[in-house]
Chain A
Amino acid sequence: MRKRLTRFGAVLRKEMIQTLRDRRTLAIVLLMPLLQLLLFAYAIDMTVDHIPTAVADLSLDAQSRALIESLLASGFFDLTLYARDEAEVMQAIDAGAVRAGVVIPPHFGEQVERGQAQALILLDGSDSFTVQSGYSAALAVAQARAMELLVQQVDRMGLGSSLAGLPVTTSARVLYNPALDDLVFLVPALAAILLQILSVNLTAMSVARERELGTLEQLLITPIRPLELMLSKMIPNILISAAGLLGITLAGVYWFGVPFRGDPWLFAWVSLLFIISGLGLGLLISTVSQTQHQAQQISVLLFMLNLLLTGFIYPREPMPPAIQAVGNLIPLTYAIRLTRGIFTKGVGLSFLWGDVLALAIYSAIVMLLASITFKKRLD
């Protein structure tokens, strides 16, 4: 046992020195996640409003102005262009100058009086976020305006008292994030994904690099065992990842003011497990690859999977089962649920034990596989 520890300690020291020596890489590695968090937290605005809009008002009367006013007042549409007719609106959308258009036909005011008015709202269908917000906003504003007009007319006919308001109102309460604040959605998941990318990248090149540089031969003549080698490659990187995580979390909570509702210690332990699973996955990539170039290709693939299959941006529920299963092979899938659970919902282990268990099993399997594939490659 003591022999084993000496062996392990020697290789660990080598890894530590190698990690600390390359200052430039270390600086990139430590600063990158923080920089990205700052960048993305400012950049990403999930509720799309202030959509650049062209208006072709062919009536220019009180009614048309009122409708346009109510569309602009909703905050979803910004009037950026007055167009002469529908064709000009279409042209502006084609060219990408605006993303939405409002067309109001001539004699709009009279038609409203007769109860047959029609207005047209056009949306650029090549951009999904714009369409989603624009569509529901436009419908809601238009319907509200129509109801207002109806109530006015009814009032004038003297029925007003019986129609004081809508008979049913829905009050919606968004749990955990009542103001639908983007950052509350974004920061916990962003922390998880940046940590995942960091941890996988840290180890993905490690073994392939030794192989390519020829230093693997030197390691092989030492008495170190595969699992020990894997562990010693992992430990310095745990420290780096933990530093990265700490930076991201502090920036999220103190700089962006995202509330941290759960238990910080639980979060720390779960994150440690998550870091280990990511580093293990990186090691597996590294032992499977023949060159650093290959390792890089595989980790880029993984990066895309991370982004699109794990529930970071697109929800997992509507995905077909086979694709969900692919997502289950990535530790981030579990971690996103965990960080959102602890960070945003403030729930504890009693709700999250399933994902924690999955991560623990995952880490063990990945480490074993990495050692086994490493061993095979030796023979």
Chain B
Amino acid sequence: MLRRVWSVMQKEFIHIVRDRRTLLILIGMPMIQLLLFGYAINMNVDHIPTMVVDQSLDSASHAYLDALVTSSFFDLIAYLPSQADLIDAIDEGRAQAGIVIPAGFAADVERGQAQVLLLVDGADFFTSVSAYNAASVIAQTYATELLVARVERAGLAARRGAGPGEGLQGLLPLDTRVRILYNPNLNDLWFIIPGMTAMLLQVQTITLTAAAVVRERERGNIEQILVTPIRPAEFMVGKMVPTGAIALVNLLTILAVGVVWFDVPFQGNFWLFLLLALLYVFSGLGLGLLVSTMSQNQKQAHQLVALTTMVGLMLGGFIFPRYTMPPLLQFAGNLFPLTYFIPISRGIITKGVGLESLWEPVAVLLVYVVVVVTVAARAFKPRLD
């Protein structure tokens, strides 16, 4: 049996090494993607291009705008005369947010009835949410400061034992701290690299084997393989091992780029990660083989790969958290190995936890590999007859 598997592996290795151009693409692609996306993705939107309609132009409105600008969430790029101009500018895409301060702002602040209008471009999700949150927090802080100043003026500060100028924290009776575990500085790359590693490997492994069987079928080579004594499962394993080697190279280069180039701290056990990543690689290769045996030609296989990678990406938890999805779709996500590897990858790289927290996804992945290879071998068999 081993000899039969070995001969298929040899054949596959020769195929892979001979086609230099494809090999180069295969090995270089994930690394280039990680470099590109590492620089590209920035989830904390700040410096939102903002235009201002200030109909008061008094000290209070200046103070308010200063608070907005120093937050670095908003960049004031222009002053406009009216709200209609502002909406035009957002329509055209020249500004993504706008602030309207009505006339008589300072007097309204004194009376405690001042109102500011924030306009946000709602066509872009991240910008609108960032702007919305930032503006509310800034406004709340600014309002609280004003309130505290007034309380101090009323002499409350002395009675409460807080000295003047001690500010907000001294006066508020409740102080809540929010601590972000594992990634206290909200570094984007720390979020992205572990998930991206999982995703690039998934896409790569599925594509690597998806064409494998169907290509032999299309070229007529499958007849030649059928006359050899090889069994379906052996054939599958023989196809998986050499492509597994490519995926392993990809894994190492991606990790090197992430950890060495982008400086993402690797908190957990490296060898454990490598071992589990290998298991994951085989699950992806198995899924690719299944796609390949089910397709009639390469074009179909290609369409199915596009579907699998896209669905895996959206439902696997890389970008959008899974717990917000309806149960049925969470279940659909369970069909992709990516779903199990993302908690493993984040667990080991970012959180630094070990098997004691991760045994569940690991067990599922193990079962997954066995099931998917068996199903692929089974699906391959009836096609032979």
Q: Which of A125, A132, A174, A180 has the most CB atoms of chain B within a 10 A radius of its CB?
A: A125
- By beta carbon, the residue of chain A nearest B32 is A301
Query: Beyond the given A127-B191, A304-B33, could you list 7 further A-B residue pairs with CB under 8 A, ordered by the A residue number?
Result: A49-B324, A128-B188, A132-B44, A140-B137, A173-B118, A297-B207, A314-B43
Q: Does B177 contact A (CB under 8 A)?
A: yes
Q: How many residues in A have their beta carbons less than 8 Å from beta carbons of B?
A: 130
Q: Distance (Å) between the CB of B14 and the closest chain A CB? A: 15
Contact A24 B305 (CB under 8 A): no
Contacts of B323 in A (CB 8 A): 50-52, 99
B interface residue count range (under 10 / 10 to 19 / 20 to 34 / 35 or more): 35 or more
Interface string of B36-61 (1 = CB under 8 A from A): 11011111111111000000000000
Contacts of A47 in B (CB 8 A): 129
Known: A24-B296, A146-B174. Is A154-B156 also a contact (CB below 8 A)? yes
Contact B120 A172 (CB under 8 A): yes
How far is B351's CA from A311's CA once the two chains are assembled, in angstroms?
A: 29
Q: Which of B112, B188, B315, B350 contacts A164 (CB 8 A)?
A: B112
Q: Which of B44, B119, B353 contacts A95 (CB 8 A)?
A: B353
Q: Does B103 contact A (CB under 8 A)?
A: no
Q: Which of A131, A165, A309 contacts B36 (CB 8 A)?
A: A309
Contact A168 B142 (CB under 8 A): yes
A-B interface contact total, Cβ < 8 Å: 393
Q: Distance (Å) between the CB of A358 and the closest chain B CB? A: 14
Find residues 190-229 in chain B having any chain A CB closer than 8 Å to their own CB: 190-192, 194, 200, 203, 207, 210-211, 215, 218-219
Q: Distance (Å) between the CB of B376 and the closest chain A CB? A: 19
Contacts of B329 in A (CB 8 A): 39, 42-43
Q: Does B183 contact A (CB under 8 A)?
A: yes
How far is B188's CA from A176's CA once the two chains are assembled, in angstroms?
A: 29
Interface string of B130-154 (1 = CB under 8 A from A): 0011011101111110110011001
Contacts of B49 in A (CB 8 A): 317
Contacts of A165 in B (CB 8 A): 112
Q: Does B22 contact A (CB under 8 A)?
A: yes
Contact A118 B151 (CB under 8 A): no
Contact A170 B306 (CB under 8 A): no
How far is B305's CA from A205's CA once the two chains are assembled, in angstroms?
A: 13
Contacts of A347 in B (CB 8 A): 91-92
Contacts of A112 in B (CB 8 A): 173-174
Q: Does A122 contact B (CB under 8 A)?
A: yes
Q: Does A106 contact B (CB under 8 A)?
A: no
Residues of A within 8 A of B (CB): 22, 24-25, 28-29, 32, 35-36, 39-40, 42-52, 67, 90, 93-96, 99, 112-113, 115-132, 135-136, 138-140, 142-147, 149-150, 153-154, 157, 159, 162-178, 180, 182, 184-185, 188, 197, 201, 204-205, 209, 212-213, 290-294, 296-301, 303-305, 307-309, 311, 313-315, 317-320, 322-323, 326-327, 337, 340-341, 344-345, 347, 351
Contact B137 A139 (CB under 8 A): yes
Q: Distance (Å) between the CB of A182 and the closest chain B CB? A: 8
6 tightest Cβ-Cβ pairs between the two chains A and B: A177-B122, A125-B183, A142-B176, A318-B42, A170-B139, A45-B324
13 contacts between A and B (CB under 8 A): A45-B325, A96-B343, A112-B173, A125-B350, A130-B321, A132-B44, A163-B151, A169-B139, A290-B22, A293-B22, A298-B25, A317-B47, A319-B42
- By beta carbon, the residue of chain B nearest A181 is B122
- By beta carbon, the residue of chain B nearest A197 is B306
Contact A118 B45 (CB under 8 A): no
How far is B207's CA from A185's CA once the two chains are assembled, in angstroms?
A: 30
How far is B122's CA from A47's CA once the two chains are assembled, in angstroms?
A: 13
Contact B309 A121 (CB under 8 A): no
Q: Distance (Å) between the CB of A369 and the closest chain B CB? A: 19
Contact A129 B45 (CB under 8 A): no
Q: Distance (Å) between the CB of A339 and the closest chain B CB? A: 10
How far is B219's CA from A113's CA once the two chains are assembled, in angstroms?
A: 81
Contacts of B351 in A (CB 8 A): 94, 126
Contact B332 A39 (CB under 8 A): yes
Q: Does B382 contact A (CB under 8 A)?
A: no
Contact B40 A157 (CB under 8 A): no
How far is B43's CA from A135's CA once the two chains are assembled, in angstroms?
A: 14
Q: Distance (Å) between the CB of B321 and the closest chain A CB? A: 5
Contact B172 A150 (CB under 8 A): yes
Contacts of A40 in B (CB 8 A): 314
Contact A308 B179 (CB under 8 A): no
- By beta carbon, the residue of chain B nearest A115 is B173
Q: Does B1 contact A (CB under 8 A)?
A: no
How far is B184's CA from A308's CA once the two chains are assembled, in angstroms?
A: 25
Q: Which of B114, B128, B172, B179 contacts A120 (CB 8 A)?
A: B179
